[in-house]
Chains A and B, each alone.
Chain A
Amino acid sequence: MATLEIRDLHVTVEADNATKEILKGVDLTVKQGETHAIMGPNGSGKSTLAYSLAGHPKYTITGGTVTLDGEDVLEMSVDERARAGLFLAMQYPVEVPGVSVSNFLRTSATAVRGEAPKLRTWVKEVKETMERLHMDPSFAERNVNEGFSGGEKKRHEILQLELLKPKVAILDETDSGLDVDALRVVSEGVNRVRETGEVGTLLITHYTRILRYIKPDHVHVFSAGRIVESGGAELADKLEEEGYEAYTKGGASE
């Protein structure tokens, strides 16, 4: 069973000629089939956790370990992590001019699966997945994220999630900027992947709204660069009512 283990993770970032510690000892274990929601106020370091796990060069790991099924994730390059089974659905996916969605998806699937998917079944797979996400077929011929609306970008991220079938999926504020209809469609996509029981999901969000559609097994409150409280789904209800105030007192939100 695939397991992502994060132990005492410390991460810094360079900003304004100064080194700033963003993550200050994160401990978390995500197992296949589980869904963990990480909730926290802006600036608490949630997205830093997501990007650090994916290997973004902006972040420096200064301490701790991350392993996927015992393999050292921190030693891997960005593409190796993806091929090992990590997936990050990004909050702000970038435009890639000149590369069509269909070409991108196929190149990516070829890399992750280790061989080119058979053309006939692949075309069908992509088409059906896009239909379920309410994406127009013409979408495949557009350039990656170029001119996409906020909702289209998120659907495109979840399309990749469904096609790449990772062991661990990290969803970084996938819900932000979505209207209710788009949120439902995107959540259904995530749930289809979860229902296979083969993915561990790390759902990073600022709002409790998405948790009505994607039910977490565990909820963690993130504040000032670490997990400050963990519980079951009921913890989200408490946050819904009380907000993050109890966790940010004393201006610890950095």
Chain B
Amino acid sequence: MAEAHNNPGGSTTAGSIAVAAESTVATRMSAPPSFDVADFPVPHGREEEWRFTPLDRLRGLHDGTAVADGSIKAEISAPDGVRVETVARDDARLGRAGAPVDRVAAQAYSAFEKATIVTVPKETVLTEPVRLALHGEGGVTYGHTVFELGAFAEATVVIDHTGDTVRAANVEYVVGDGAKLTVVTVMDWDRTAVHTSQQGALVGRDAGFRHIVVTFGGDLVRIHPRVTYAGTGGEAELIGLYFTDKGQHHEHRLLVDHNTPHCKSNVVYKGALQGESAHAVWIGDVLIEAKAEGTDTYEMNRNLVLTDGARVDSVPNLEIETGEIVGAGHASATGRFDDEQLFYLMARGIPETDARRLVVRGFFAELVQQIGVPDIEERLLAKIEEELEASVA
């Protein structure tokens, strides 16, 4: 089930499948989940959840020194029937999709002043996406957003991040029974931005949750999608695309907690890297609890290293506490586009720039097609093109 091959220098793939009586996913963390930042010690960098992250580039989000002195412009456009509210910290609807699991997520939860709740009432089927555009205007910002779909509602949500900020902000997705939610979250920050975000989803009975992360920008981006199920028959699909450039740190950590029988999950993350000290981290934790009979899960991470000097750390981790499942597997592979591949394509008449484009586009194509939001797909292809131009120049 596990495969790991083609690892160029400067990459690691350390997959594991553990059959255990008790999960180590939780015990590997420095502290149990909590909404209070004070419950987490300030990380020193050697903790399991921090060992790949350059703490000095978190600009104080991890040690309490990042004071909320910045601003972010938020624009939301929602079709008729969608309710958008700004609520106080004590609103009972906050925190249902899981407590923060690390110091930075807890910092975000402890520091936001007002939260935004976007509700799609039950049985409401949207034909246009809900769009939330966040534009950083400098400084440190915190935030908290909840998207809730009532039973049998259907919606697509696009969260777009641009501009510059140092931001810790969590997002919750509460997907009602039989509801279908697609989220596309685009990290198109300025090159200087820092962004950490725990994104928890509670997937209802027979509900469908698709979460698509697109990460291009920022100096440091650390996204942590987490899925748990509130009833049987839930399906989660977690997709990620990232293009990590010179000096950037892009970290995607995922957890799918199969805590309920007869649920499905499918995780596919793909990233391209280029330039000195480009660093991509992918941690994929899938836990199948003893009670989760009939689980069907697969997770995959693929990386394409375009130049020397880039580094990938890819760690798929599957823990299985019951044998009564439909399927469980994981795969991770990091390949590189090297001079021999370039020679091969050019020896068939294909010019160098076209050869690069062919490889990178082909690599991302199957995922781009799955986004299902045409303007985002186009923007993504344009971004890839832009990145490639930069690499040729």
Query: Which residues of A approach B to under 8 Å, CB–CB?
Result: 54-57, 77-79, 81-83, 88, 90, 93-100, 103-104, 107-108, 111-112, 143-144, 160, 164
* Neighbouring A residues of B48 by C-beta, 8 Å: none
Contact A78 B363 (CB under 8 A): no
Contact B348 A96 (CB under 8 A): no
The residue that B350 contacts in the complex, of A54, A79, A81, with Cβ under 8 A, is: A79
Contact B351 A79 (CB under 8 A): yes
Contact A98 B360 (CB under 8 A): yes
- Given contacts A57-B339, A97-B363, A98-B363, are A79 and B349 in contact (CB under 8 A)? yes
* Neighbouring A residues of B359 by C-beta, 8 Å: 96-99
CB distance from B357 to the nearest CB of A (A): 10
Closest 9 CB pairs of A and B: A98-B363, A111-B349, A82-B349, A108-B348, A78-B346, A98-B362, A112-B349, A79-B346, A99-B362
The residue that A56 contacts in the complex, of B343, B348, B350, B352, with Cβ under 8 A, is: B343
Residue contacts A-B, CB under 8 angstroms, 20 given: A56-B343, A78-B347, A79-B351, A79-B352, A82-B346, A82-B349, A83-B349, A90-B344, A90-B347, A96-B359, A97-B302, A98-B304, A98-B359, A98-B360, A98-B363, A99-B362, A104-B348, A108-B345, A111-B350, A160-B348
The residue among B348, B354, B359 with the most chain A CB atoms within 10 A of its own CB is: B348
Q: A95-B335, A98-B364 are in contact. List 8 more A-B contacts (CB 8 A).
A: A55-B346, A55-B347, A78-B343, A95-B341, A100-B362, A104-B358, A111-B350, A164-B349
Contact A103 B341 (CB under 8 A): no
- B386 close to A (CB within 8 Å): no
CB distance from B103 to the nearest CB of A (A): 37
CB distance from B387 to the nearest CB of A (A): 15
Contact A111 B341 (CB under 8 A): no
CB distance from A226 to the nearest CB of B (A): 24
- B56 close to A (CB within 8 Å): no
Contact B349 A94 (CB under 8 A): no
CB distance from A69 to the nearest CB of B (A): 17
B49-81 interface with A by 8 A CB criterion: none
Contact A108 B349 (CB under 8 A): yes
Contact A94 B350 (CB under 8 A): no
The residue that A96 contacts in the complex, of B341, B354, B365, with Cβ under 8 A, is: B341
The residue among A56, A94, A143 with the most chain B CB atoms within 10 A of its own CB is: A94
The residue that A94 contacts in the complex, of B302, B304, B340, B358, with Cβ under 8 A, is: B340
Q: A193–B339 Cα gap in the complex (Å)?
A: 29
* Neighbouring B residues of A79 by C-beta, 8 Å: 346-347, 349-352
Q: Which residue of A lies closest to B340 (CB)?
A: A94
The residue that A99 contacts in the complex, of B302, B343, B349, B358, with Cβ under 8 A, is: B358
- Given contacts A79-B351, A107-B354, are A96 and B360 in contact (CB under 8 A)? no
B347-379 interface with A by 8 A CB criterion: 347-352, 354, 358-360, 362-365
Q: A55–B153 Cα gap in the complex (Å)?
A: 60
- Given contacts A97-B304, A98-B363, are A107 and B358 in contact (CB under 8 A)? yes
The residue among B352, B358, B364 with the most chain A CB atoms within 10 A of its own CB is: B358
Contact A111 B347 (CB under 8 A): no
Contact A108 B341 (CB under 8 A): no
* Neighbouring B residues of A78 by C-beta, 8 Å: 343, 346-347
Q: A56–B341 Cα gap in the complex (Å)?
A: 11
Contact B348 A111 (CB under 8 A): yes
CB distance from A223 to the nearest CB of B (A): 27
* Neighbouring B residues of A160 by C-beta, 8 Å: 348
CB distance from A150 to the nearest CB of B (A): 16
B279-337 interface with A by 8 A CB criterion: 302, 304, 335
Q: A95–B342 Cα gap in the complex (Å)?
A: 11
Q: Which residue of A lies closest to B348 (CB)?
A: A108
